[in-house]
Amino acid sequence: GQNIDQPTEMTATEGAIVQINCTYQTSGFNGLFWYQQHAGEAPTFLSYNVLDGLEEKGRFSSFLSRSKGYSYLLLKELQMKDSASYLCAVRLSGNTPLVFGKGTRLSVIA
Amino acid sequence: ETGVTQTPRHLVMGMTNKKSLKCEQHLGHNAMYWYKQSAKKPLELMFVYNFKEQTENNSVPSRFSPECPNSSHLFLHLHTLQPEDSALYLCASSRTVDNEKLFFGSGTQLSVL
């Protein structure tokens, strides 16, 4: 079976930096995705990593290590609006749908 | 606004009712998906349609019946559901099945009494 692990919940302070980890053990790998989902809203695409290394996009960065089966999403200068669930998802091969983790619920407090 | 619209946003139904969920995308995508999202569980893929043809049925009970009349519209017909089917049902689309970026609708929150 496919296994994707993320922490269930995290809390961080406004203005701080938080790192949300995702580890995966899957039968194939063709890319890793991060989505953000605010309560009652649609998940929205944040990032996509297929090669090792760090991809930076404004306050958000995503890192991938394929050899370790590990990724993280780094959020800097946290804002209250960053309170949401963050979903890690793996594509197993070129034309298969994504396999999602359970998501990490991030609460940003003042 | 993601370009994917789902209706209704909320639905309460009894176990003997028949209802349908509707999804429409305005993005010109060719692949559409139904996902189930339950509390404390990963998003579960239910069905995939590629160019109107069903390419994946993830062992979903027959009380869920999908329909894809064209690449822009997707339905999920519900019949004799169980209370454990209560969940958020999300529709998504992508340019093609092997395209990496999914666009999700806001979902239908379903409660089965």
pLDDT digits (tens, 9 = 90+) for B33-51: 999 999 878 889 999 998 8
Asked whether residue A52 carries a pLDDT value surpassing 90, the answer given is yes
The pLDDT, as a whole number, for residue B1 is: 67
Mean pLDDT to the nearest integer, A53-67:
96
Asked whether residue B23 carries a pLDDT value surpassing 70, the answer given is yes
Residues of chain B with pLDDT > 90, as a percent, come to 74
Asked whether residue A92 carries a pLDDT value surpassing 90, the answer given is no
Which has more pLDDT, B39 or B93? B93
Contact predicate B3/B69, CB 8 Å: no
Q: For residue A43, give every residue at least 6 positions away whose Cβ sits within 8 Å of its Cβ, in sequence order, or none.
A: A35, A36, A37, A87, B43, B90, B102, B104
Residue of B49, B98, B99, B110 to mutate for A, most A C-beta atoms under 10 A: B98
Q: How far is B67 from chain A (nearest CA, A)?
A: 19
Q: Does A38 touch chain B (CB under 8 A)?
A: no
Chain A residues within 8 A of B33 when measuring between CB atoms? 97
Q: Do B56 and A40 touch (CB under 8 A)?
A: no
Q: Does B10 touch chain A (CB under 8 A)?
A: no
Asked whether residue A44 carries a pLDDT value surpassing 80, the answer given is yes
Report helix, strand or coil for B83: helix
Distance from first CA to last CA of chain A, Å, rounded?
Answer: 40
Q: Does B45 touch chain A (CB under 8 A)?
A: yes
The pLDDT, as a whole number, for residue B56 is: 80
The pLDDT, as a whole number, for residue A94 is: 64
Mean pLDDT to the nearest integer, B48-76:
91
The pLDDT, as a whole number, for residue A6 is: 97
Split at pLDDT 50, 70, 90, the class of B99 is low
Mean pLDDT to the nearest integer, A2-15:
96
Closest CA to B98 of A48, A49, A95, A93: A95
**In terms of CA atoms, which chain B residue is nearest residue A90?**
B100
Mean pLDDT to the nearest integer, A73-97:
91
Residue appearing with tokens 């969920």: B21
**In terms of CA atoms, which chain A residue is nearest residue B93?**
A97
Which has more pLDDT, B111 or B57? B111
Please tell me the distance from the alpha carbon of residue A42 to that of residue A52, in angstroms, as a whole number.
28
